[in-house]
């Protein structure tokens, strides 16, 4: 009976998309959904409206209220425009920046958004073609804009697209603006509420001039120019995996002085179909396979791959046997933070006012590095808008060194307020040159970090549950974890539980309750055990999955013990998985 009611509702909703308010192609797609005997696709396309959440929009492309298309993008843009006009009513001109990645329909959605902003009297700066997401953040700040958007679904499969909204500081929107924009978007009840007819006089084009300013500012981040000069011929394989990084990253590396950047020609081809990979996600080993083969063929030292919108980077380095090994997001963070803090120290730049930022699910070893070097560390929620919030709150008070998260995102500069694969690739290349000055590989450098600060192994596990039923299952899993908290994980007693929905910590040793000092609530649970294991659980905000983050620590004293520690950590992770039932 419930299914019949739902089918009746979605059928009625779908039929409303057959009117003249919608273009011919959309009407045709909707009619095909209605005509299909199997109504699964119809239900998935119309059972709800694609939500403009605190991170914007993200969804599968196609016709329907629960899909990414010109109407859902149009409603988002009109809602944002309405809010900007209220919030900045006192300004003579409201300005926004619009960027997009390589995905199918990204350019179309970007142009339609420019039309809608301009139709609402808002000046829209549209990049001439695809550009890295961090450059959009940079341009918002550089041009003194009030907002900006990027059309991207980051590393999601090719069927997806997305829409990220930014505020005047170049960061993704946070409270109170996020909820206020959502309210405005939700008030768009009809296609007739969206002003699609653009005003060309209010649309400006951004091109090479902005690229040059961005790269010139990034060059100022370099801490070891002499090392680059000595090792400028390091062989580096770089791939944009068909995305926007190919527009800027090789140019930036060349500007730094690196002369031996090796391309993967098949993956330089810009394509939203990502023809050479199953998933354009640098977290996935398969995404780097072609680049690693190219590195082996050319005897390269380092492999770097950025995701489609060039805000995240994955790397591979040679081990002591000359074989390429993947470096995960947490290990990359360790390399970044160790290098930056070490060089700031060596250059006499540490004054006691410096700080770094990591997310709560990232390695606790980062905290060990910061504390040992007397650098303040902030923990924040997953998502770079929270790192950007810490940067904003410390402006004029403390000096930012860097911020990052385990999901392959890092930011070395404060003139951008989102993760940046352009500066990250520049920094990684510089670290490789600096390590070479001491006769070390990147692999040996990582081992040295473990020997100095302790060995840590992290494992991220995602359990995918698609569609309406999947969302309900994920919700039930989180409810069960809360109502039946673990007392032990892999035979180690749980000593601390943090529930970020309640902003309460439970110290099970002292038997007391703690208040968690965070800017807002978040659906995250964390367990800490006697043997320094940390387990974090959270549903993804952008994908149909629940994520588990496992971190185990093993004491090591010598380089020879590292291999044994790696094996012990793997066994421990397997035990933890059994405890969690994943």
**In this structure, what token pair is assigned to residue 73?**
């993008």
CB 336 within 8 A of CB 421: no
Identify the active-site residue in 154, 363, 407, 492.
Answer: 154
* pLDDT value at residue 1: 44
Angle between helices 329-346 and 365-372 (to 10 degrees): 10
> Mean pLDDT of residues grouped by 10 in the chain (582 residues)?
81 95 95 94 93 87 97 97 98 98 98 98 98 98 98 93 97 93 93 97 98 98 98 98 97 98 98 96 96 98 97 97 96 98 97 97 96 97 94 97 96 98 98 97 97 94 84 88 92 96 96 94 95 93 84 93 94 93 86
**How would you classify the pairing of strands 302-306 and 236-239?**
parallel
Instruction: Classify burial at 143, counting beta carbons within 10 Å of its beta carbon; exposed 0-12, middle 13-18, buried 19 or more.
Output: middle
* pLDDT value at residue 249: 98
* pLDDT value at residue 107: 98
**In this structure, what token pair is assigned to residue 580?**
């969690």
CB 343 within 8 A of CB 222: no
3-state secondary structure 135-198: HHHHHHHHCCCCEEEEECCCCCCCCEEEEEEEECCCCECCCCHHHHHHHHHHCCCCHHHCCCCC
* pLDDT value at residue 468: 76
CATH code: domain 214-453 is 3.40.120.10
* pLDDT value at residue 2: 55
Quick one: how many helices (H) and strands (E) in the chain?
Answer: 19, 23
Residues in contact with 494: Cβ distance below 8 Å, sequence separation at least 6, in sequence order: 485, 486, 487, 488, 508, 527, 528, 529
pTM of the complete model: 0.94
Q: Given its phi and psi angles, is residue 395 left (phi above 0), alpha (psi -120 to 50 degrees) or beta?
A: beta
CB 74 within 8 A of CB 196: yes
Closest to 525 measured CA to CA, from 486, 553, 491, 490:
486
- From residue 448, give the alpha-carbon distance in Å to each of 82, 124, 208, 320: 54, 49, 41, 13
Question: DSSP 3-state assignment of 318?
Answer: strand
Residues in contact with 183: Cβ distance below 8 Å, sequence separation at least 6, in sequence order: none
CA torsion sign for 332, 159, 71, 539 is negative
With residue 404 as reference, give the H or E element that holds it.
strand 399-405
- From residue 160, give the alpha-carbon distance in Å to each of 68, 164, 477: 8, 13, 25
CATH 3.30.70 assigned to 456-580: no
Integer Cα distance of 323 and 230 in angstroms: 25
Using CA atoms of 438, 443, 445, 451 in order, give the dihedral in degrees to the nearest 10: -130
- From residue 454, give the alpha-carbon distance in Å to each of 39, 557, 562, 577: 55, 8, 10, 23
- From residue 393, give the alpha-carbon distance in Å to each of 142, 176, 320, 389: 20, 15, 43, 6
> b/e per residue, 171-200, with b = 16+ CB within 10 A?
bbbbeebbeebbebbeebeebeebbeebbe
CB 399 within 8 A of CB 355: yes
The secondary structure of residue 129, as a DSSP letter, is: S
Fold of 48-206: Alpha-D-Glucose-1,6-Bisphosphate; Chain A, domain 3 (3.40.120)
- 154: annotated active-site residue: yes
Distance of CA 241 to the CA centre of its chain: 16
- From residue 234, give the alpha-carbon distance in Å to each of 10, 258, 266, 432: 58, 7, 22, 8
- What sections of 203-347 are H helices per DSSP? 208-219, 225-230, 245-256, 265-268, 289-298, 329-346
* pLDDT value at residue 582: 87
User: What is the C-alpha end-to-end distance of the chain, expressed in Å?
Assistant: 34
Q: Given its phi and psi angles, is residue 409 left (phi above 0), alpha (psi -120 to 50 degrees) or beta?
A: beta
CB 140 within 8 A of CB 84: no
């Amino acid at each position: 009976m419930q299914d019949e009611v739902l089918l009746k509702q979605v059928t009625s909703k779908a039929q409303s998309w057959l009117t003249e308010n919608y273009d011919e192609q959309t009407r045709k797609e909707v009619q095909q959904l209605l005509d299909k005997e199997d109504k699964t696709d119809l239900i998935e396309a119309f059972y709800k409206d694609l939500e403009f959440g605190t991170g914007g929009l993200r969804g599968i492309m196609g016709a329907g209220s629960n899909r990414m298309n010109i109407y859902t993008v149009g409603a988002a843009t009109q809602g944002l425009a309405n809010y900007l006009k209220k919030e900045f009513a006192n300004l003579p001109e409201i300005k926004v920046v619009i960027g997009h990645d390589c995905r199918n329909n990204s350019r179309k959605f970007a142009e339609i958004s420019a039309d809608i902003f301009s139709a609402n009297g808002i000046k829209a700066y549209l990049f001439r073609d695809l550009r890295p997401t961090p450059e959009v953040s940079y341009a918002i700040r550089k041009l003194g804009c009030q907002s900006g958007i990027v059309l991207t679904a980051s590393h999601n499969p090719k069927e997806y697209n997305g829409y990220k909204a930014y505020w005047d500081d170049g960061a993704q929107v946070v409270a109170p603006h996020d909820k206020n924009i959502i309210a405005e978007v939700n008030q768009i009840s009809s296609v007739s509420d969206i002003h699609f007819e653009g005003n060309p006089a209010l649309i400006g084009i951004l091109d090479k001039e902005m690229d040059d300013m961005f790269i010139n500012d990034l060059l100022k981040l370099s801490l070891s120019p002499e090392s680059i000069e000595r090792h400028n011929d390091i062989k580096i394989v770089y791939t944009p995996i068909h995305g926007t990084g190919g527009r800027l990253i090789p140019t930036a590396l060349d500007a730094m002085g690196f002369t031996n950047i090796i391309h993967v020609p098949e993956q330089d081809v810009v394509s939203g179909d990502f023809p050479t990979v199953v998933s354009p996600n640098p977290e996935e080993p398969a995404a780097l396979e072609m680049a690693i083969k190219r590195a082996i063929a050319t005897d390269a030292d380092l492999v770097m791959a950025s995701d489609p919108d060039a805000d995240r980077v994955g790397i591979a380095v040679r081990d002591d046997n000359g074989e390429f090994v993947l470096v995960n997001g947490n290990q990359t963070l360790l390399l970044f933070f160790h290098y930056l803090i070490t060089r700031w120290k060596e250059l006499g730049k540490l004054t006691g006012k410096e700080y770094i930022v990591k997310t709560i699910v990232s390695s606790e070893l980062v905290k060990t590095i910061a504390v040992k070097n007397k650098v303040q560390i902030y923990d924040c929620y997953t998502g770079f808008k929270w790192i950007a919030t810490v940067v904003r709150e410390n402006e004029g008070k403390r000096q930012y060194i860097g911020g990052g998260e385990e999901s392959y995102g890092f930011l070395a500069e404060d003139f951008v307020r989102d993760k940046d694969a352009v500066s990250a690739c520049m920094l990684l290349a510089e670290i490789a040159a600096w390590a070479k000055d001491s006769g070390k590989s990147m692999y040996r450098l990582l081992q040295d970090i473990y020997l100095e600060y302790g060995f840590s192994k992290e494992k991220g596990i995602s359990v995918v549950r698609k569609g309406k039923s999947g969302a309900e299952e994920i919700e039930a899993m989180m409810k069960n974890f809360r109502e039946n908290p673990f007392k032990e994980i892999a035979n180690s007693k749980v000593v601390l539980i943090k529930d970020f929905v309640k902003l309460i910590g439970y110290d099970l040793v002292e038997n007391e309750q703690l208040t968690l000092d965070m800017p807002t609530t978040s659906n995250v649970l964390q367990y800490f055990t006697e043997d320094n294991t940390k387990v974090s659980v959270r549903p993804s905000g952008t994908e149909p999955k629940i994520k588990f983050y496992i971190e185990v620590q093993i004491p090591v004293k010598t380089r020879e013990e590292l291999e044994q520690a790696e094996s012990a950590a793997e066994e421990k992770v397997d035990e933890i998985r059994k405890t969690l039932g994943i």
